[in-house]
Chains A and B, each alone.
Chain A
């Protein structure tokens, strides 16, 4: 069934069609509508789930952890400062191996107070042990929620489904809602191997001495290493059943590209359009849209980006004192590769400033004009 819905509601419908059993959330612009619709679904019994109202995002994640530990399929959503407030509990969810799925609307961190998009909120949570999927359309948001539950529950690792503020969250697009019976087949009920139950009492997350802590972290990493193959496999399975592939990356015109853009989020779709325009003008340009950031699609990046002569990484984020975060990750992935391409780093669109097709034109022209990057950051659109 096709519906015209905003990105926020694509998350809500994704949680509904995945048959989430517990939703604990606290509202924050631009995420608010995600949980508003879910609370309505719970009230009208369209979704048979327990909706827990909490007093903060810290509590939202704490309640989600409790619910997941009891064996419920659990969904929550947040943004920006709310995600930052959850930070401590993000470690509890991943360390406790609880497959919570959370929508995060990318919203720039304050101050200055902002409700517009950039990626510093979610990328600040890079090392919490959560998988991170960056979406570029409302359809992809809905599909990814379903896939994220499948991958998370198989590996017992939580997932963040990330979308841009306003350019997805409040933008209406046509979204195909998959058939519930088929989704049930793709995503069977969650059956945890261990759960909080009086019939088999255990304490979870208690004091763990140096004798065993190290091994738990080793196991988390080893399972995270299984995630790239599993994301591709479940993505192909999804394509067979629903006609849409959900992979680690979304390459456009990469095969013979001499200059390769590396992008993420909605800027990645803008770059697709810009690439087609530049191709018509005879430029051998491609765009590698990074869908998954954690686990980092190391092999895919080396395979696709390693073929280009030059790479232009466009970051809607910054690691202060270093440079763009995708830029450093791409360089790290290409390290040691024979004849590795020159990698240029561009920072654009912080705090919700638009990234336009002509910005990508300027970026490609800059990379063409220089043999090697002179600086680690080329600023796009700073008024100076």
Chain B
């Protein structure tokens, strides 16, 4: 988690530094896709049954399990709402993102 946040954007000053093949050589974690979000999932932990379904369904691996509770990584969550849709106790609300 900490390494992820530290990921730096890799840029090349000239073609000579670049590999010949277009390929990933670093991490895309510098690209904080949370900025794309219009709707923000918010978990009401009082009603959470720790089933792990939101963690399993998140297509961007943005729901982390910390001390057995789900935590949303808002740096990368794009707000697709799949977690809220799938939550069996409906304890995840999709609220408008205000910036």
Contact = CB atoms under 8 A, between A and B. Distances in A.
Interface in A156-194: 156, 193-194
Interface stretch (B18-26, B40-48, B66-74, B79-87): B18-26
Interface string B1-44: 00000000001101100111111110000000000000000000
| Interface class of chain B by DSSP | loop
B24 A219 contact: no
B19 A208 contact: no
Nearest to A222: B15
Interface stretch (A121-129, A199-207, A245-253): A199-207
Most buried by A among B14, B20, B22: B22
A320 interface: no
B24 A202 contact: yes
A219 B11 contact: no
B18 A212 contact: yes
Contact of B22 (A96, A193, A218): A96
A316 B24 CA distance: 43
A128 to B, nearest CB: 16
A211 interface: yes
A150 B89 CA distance: 62
Nearest to A211: B11
A205 B24 CA distance: 8
Contacts of B11: 211-212
B22 A216 contact: yes
A203 B24 contact: yes
A215 B18 contact: yes
A66 interface: no
A95 interface: yes
Nearest to B25: A202
Contacts of B19: 194
Contact of B12 (A96, A204, A215, A218): A215
Contacts of A216: 18, 22
B23 A219 contact: no
A299 interface: no
A97 B20 contact: yes
Nearest to A213: B22
Contacts of A156: 20-21
A215 B14 CA distance: 8
B11 to A, nearest CB: 6
A223 interface: yes
B22 A95 contact: yes
Most buried by A among B21, B23, B25: B21
Contact of B15 (A96, A97, A203, A219): A219
B20 A204 contact: no
Given A202-B25, A211-B11, A215-B12, A193 B18 contact: no
Given A215-B15, A218-B15, A208 B22 contact: yes
A193 B15 CA distance: 17
Contacts of A215: 12, 14-15, 18
B97 to A, nearest CB: 24
Contacts of B14: 215
Contacts of A205: 22-23
Nearest to B9: A211
B31 to A, nearest CB: 10
Nearest to A201: B24
A212 B14 CA distance: 9
Nearest to A216: B22
Contacts of B24: 202-204, 206
B57 to A, nearest CB: 23
A336 B22 CA distance: 37
Given A212-B12, A218-B15, A223 B23 contact: no
Contacts of A193: 20
Given A215-B15, A218-B15, A223 B20 contact: yes
A203 B19 CA distance: 13
Interface of B: 11-12, 14-15, 18-25
Given A156-B20, A211-B11, A213-B22, 4 more contacts: A156-B21, A202-B24, A204-B24, A216-B22
Interface of A: 95-97, 156, 193-194, 202-206, 208, 211-213, 215-216, 218-219, 223
14 contacts: A96-B22, A97-B21, A156-B20, A194-B21, A194-B23, A202-B24, A202-B25, A204-B21, A204-B22, A206-B23, A212-B11, A215-B14, A218-B15, A219-B18
